[in-house]
Amino acid sequence: MPPFIEQLRTILIDLELPGQTLLIGLSGGGDSVALLHGLHQLQDPLDLKLYAAHLDHGLRGAESESDAEWVREFCCGLGVDCVIERRDIAQAAQESGRGIEEAAREERYRFLEEQAVRLEASSLCVGHTQDDNVETILHHIVRGTGLAGLTGISARRRLPCGVTIVRPLLSFSRADLEAYLNEVGQSWRRDSTNDDESYTRNRIRQTLLPLLRNSFNPAVDDALLRLAWQAAEAQQAMQHLAERTGREVLLDASDTCVRIDCVPLADAPAGFVREVLRAIWIDRQWPRRGMNYSHWESLRGLVCGGGVGVRLPGSIQASRRANLLILEYEKRGSRVASGF
């Protein structure tokens, strides 16, 4: 086997994927093509059942349609079933007030999750690389982030729908993957919007990172990845303590309301209090989209200093009553209660 396949095999075993049904998010770009091609080589040795899914964002007209057709033919050649769907991302962005990048990402993952559930896939595999991780870390830094944002892209994460998203290519560079594809004679598609510097990610890739490498530190990629690794270790330790404390201060909870004892948190470090609140949020499976530093800090202020109350994103109302923080969630549809 080529070295790429041998290394990928080890990673898949470490991620406990042998014997699973996998859905691969397939854009047609080199990263996702290398991922599906490699998984196909390991399909029999690792007893994998493979599906692919491709979302046409409808942003590039005939080019998008051509990509979708190429993906269809590629999967047909491998004998992998592929579902292809088109969604109007521009319209979705306009209706929601989101940027194109954010809307495209959200619609893509919504589509992939829907297909993973429909196909009863245990894991959703996407082709993020080491380069993507570096760009993500830097993006978080320039946009403003806390410790969690410095950890970069996770190799594995459980989604609310029950499917696990896995990223087996995080230890490979784009150059590694393109070298493998050239070695086996496999073509791939190139998205012309990757050259459009109106997108923040492209400016980071094409302008900011080259500037940092050439003018400040040729090994800035390695430095950012080390930072992410150290941040991940610190974050894991903080999460462990925060989850334990969350269990201790959570007096009672339902799908729509929780009561938190503020007394044990009154003198705790500010960052730790925010982490405890975030742990409770995650445990309740409450929406965190739109929750930024100022929101978490407002909550911490209620816990440690008192106050009247605050309205939060996701239809959540927080209020302080005596020594209790009351969080009330206006749920839409049914939710499943969880516990630490």
Distance CA 289, CA 287 (A): 6
pLDDT of 172 over the 60 cut: yes
Res 94 pLDDT > 50: yes
Q: For residue 118, what are the contacts with CB-CB under 8 A and spacing of at least 6?
A: none
Q: Is the pLDDT of residue 87 over 80?
A: yes
What is the number of helices (H) and of strands (E) in the chain? 13, 11
Check whether 140 has a pLDDT greater than 80.
yes
Residue pLDDT, tens place only, 30-58: 999 999 999 999 999 999 999 999 999 87
Residue 198 has pLDDT above 50, yes or no: yes
pLDDT at residue 192, as a whole number: 84
pLDDT tens per residue across span 208-261: 999 999 999 999 999 999 999 999 999 999 999 999 999 999 999 888 899 999
CA-CA distance, 242 to 273, in Å (whole number)?
A: 8
Beta carbons within 8 Å of 116's beta carbon, 6+ residues apart: 23, 53, 123, 124, 161, 163
Mean pLDDT of 133-142: 96
Interaxial angle between packed helices 3-14 and 174-184, expressed in degrees from 0 to 180 and rounded to the nearest 10: 120
Please give the average per-residue pLDDT across 133-146, as a whole number: 92
**Sheet strands (E) in the chain:** 21-25, 49-56, 81-86, 123-125, 156-158, 164-166, 250-253, 257-261, 309-312, 316-321, 324-329
Q: Which residues face 250 on adjacent strands?
A: 260
For 95, residues 6+ apart whose C-beta sits below 8 A from its C-beta are none
| Res 324 pLDDT > 70 | yes
* Structural domains of the chain in order of their starting residue, each with its CATH number: 3-214 (3.40.50.620), 238-329 (3.30.465)
Query: Which of 135, 155, 184, 164 lies closest to 34 in space, CA to CA?
Result: 184
What pLDDT, on a 0 to 100 scale, did the predictor assign at position 252?
Answer: 92
Range among 91-100, 158-167, 288-297 rated most confident = 158-167
Alpha-carbon distance values, 92 to 89, 98, 190, 224, 332 (Å): 5, 8, 24, 34, 21
In the predicted structure, residue 340 carries a pLDDT above the cut 60: no
Residue 70 in tokens = 């190429």
pLDDT in tens, 313-322: 888 999 999 9
Q: Which tokens is 228 given?
A: 């992410």
pLDDT per residue over 66-76, tens digit each?
Answer: 999 999 999 99
pLDDT of residue 334: 39
Q: Which of 7-16, 35-44, 175-184, 188-197 has the lowest mean pLDDT?
A: 188-197
Residue 289 burial (C-beta neighbours within 10 Å; 0-12, 13-18, 19+): exposed
SS3 content of the chain, % helix, strand, coil (to 5): 50, 15, 30
Segment 81-96 mean pLDDT = 88
- Considering the chain, what is the average pLDDT of its residues? 92
| Cα(61)–Cα(203) distance, integer angstroms | 23
**Could you count the other beta carbons within 10 Å of the beta carbon of residue 176?**
18
Q: For 260-310, how does the pLDDT look when each residue is reduced to its tens digit (9 = 90+)?
A: 999 999 999 999 999 999 999 988 888 887 888 899 999 999 999 877 789
Q: Which of 110-124, 126-140, 197-211, 296-310 has the lowest mean pLDDT?
A: 296-310
Residue 71 identity: V
pTM, 2 dp: 0.83
